[in-house]
Structure 1
Amino acid sequence: MKLPLQLLMLAAVLLAFTSCSEALSENRGPTAPDFVLPDLNGTVHHLDDYRGEKVYLLFWASWCSICLSGLNEMEELIESDEDFIVLTIVSPGTYAERNPKEFKAWFSTIDHDGDFIVLLDEGGKTFNQYQLEAYPSSIWIDTDGKIIEQHTGHVTNYDILELMNSIH
C-alpha cells in the first residue's frame, strides 16, 4: 500500500512542476506578429529578421503631442547603445497621419539622429495586428519573438530600460 501512495505523490509533484512550467511560458505572451515594412529610406524590415535580439517597438504619430514630446527622449535611448533594437512605426495616410510623401518631408525638417528608424505602416495593418488603440503605444519583444509587455501612453527611458534589462 505504501508504494502506490509514493507513486501518487510523485505523480502529483511532477504534475505541479509541469503546470508551473506551462504557466511561466504562457506569461511570456504570444508571438509578436511579423511585419514587412519599409523605412524612410526604402529599406525593408522584417520583424523576424530581428529574432534572437530584444526589440522595442514604438507606434507613434506626427500629430500626437505626447509622441512628439517624447521623440528627444527616444533619440537618447537609441543613441545609448543598449543591447536591443528600437523600431518606431507610423501609419501614413491612416489615423489622421500625413500621407507618406508629406510625412517624409515633415520628418526631414525635425532634428533627429540618423539612427532613428521609422517604419511606414501604410494602411495601419501592423497597428491593427498588434490590436493597438492609441498613440503612443509600446511593445517589448524578447529574443524568442514573444511579446513581453504592451503599454499605451508615454513610457520613460528608465522604464523602457528596466523592462528590457529584465527579459532575455
Structure 2
Amino acid sequence: MITMKLPFRLLILAALLLAFTSCSEALSENRGPAAPDFALPDLNGTVHHLDDYRGKKVYLLFWASWCSICLSGLNEMEELIESEEDFTVLTVVSPGTYAERNANEFKAWFSSIDHDGDFIVLLDEGGEVYGQYEMEAYPSSVWIGSDGRITERRTGHVTNYEILELMNSIR
C-alpha cells in the first residue's frame, strides 16, 4: 500500500504544479478574453474589421452624440490621435439605438460640429457590437492588445494620460 500512495501523491503534486504554472503564465502575460471581431462602416462607408488591426494595439471608444461627457472629450480624443502613438484609435456610435440619431442624422450632425480630428467613427447600427463588448453606458473604453485580446474595460471619461499609460503597459 505504501508503494501505491507515493505514485498517486506524485501524480497529484504534478497536476497541481501544472495548474499553477498555467495560471501564473496567463496572469503574467495579462491576457484577457479575445476581442469580438466586427465589420462596421465608417462615416465614408469604408468597412473596418477589427481583424484588420491584428498585430496592432487598439483603443476602442464607445460614445454617443447626446452624451455631454462624450462631447466634452472629443477635443482630447483629437489630440490623442494627432500624437501618432503606436496604437490605433477607433470610435463607435450606435445610430438608431440607445437614443442615438439615425445614421443620416448622425452624419449630418457630426459634419456640422466643430472638430479638427481625423478620427475614425464607426457606425454600429442596431448596437450589436456595443452588446458584444458588454458595454453598459457612454462613454466606455476598451483596450485591445496586439494579440487581439481585451486587456481593460472602463466606463466613464478616461484622460489621454490614462489611455497612454494603459496602452504603454500592454503589448
Matched residue, 2:32? 29
Partner amino acid, structure 1, of 2:21: F
> In 1, distance between residues paired with 2:153 and 2:23?
25
SS in 2 for 1:94: coil
> In 2, distance between residues paired with 1:107 and 1:135?
17
TM-score normalized with structure 1 length = 0.89
Matched residue, 2:3? none
> In 1, distance between residues paired with 2:103 and 2:15?
59
Q: Which runs of 5+ in 1 are unaligned?
A: none
Matched residue, 1:109? 112
The correspondence for 2:102, drawn from 91, 99, 104, is 99
Matched residue, 1:153? 156
Matched residue, 1:120? 123
Q: 1:101 to 1:13 in 2, by over 3 A?
A: closer
**Following TM superposition, by how much is the alpha carbon of 1:13 offset from its aligned partner in structure 2, in angstroms?**
8.9
**Following TM superposition, by how much is the alpha carbon of 1:122 offset from its aligned partner in structure 2, in angstroms?**
0.3
State how many pairs are aligned: 164
* 134-143 or 12-21, larger mean C-alpha shift: 12-21
**Following TM superposition, by how much is the alpha carbon of 1:14 offset from its aligned partner in structure 2, in angstroms?**
4.9
SS in 2 for 1:160: helix
The correspondence for 1:17, drawn from 10, 16, 21, is 21
Partner amino acid, structure 2, of 1:21: E
The 5 Å alignment of 1:1-168 reads 8=10, 11=14, 14-15=17-18, 16-24=20-28, 27-113=30-116, 115-168=118-171
Q: Which runs of 5+ in 2 are unaligned?
A: 1-5
Contact 2:78 2:117 in 1 (8 A): no
TM-score normalized with structure 2 length = 0.88
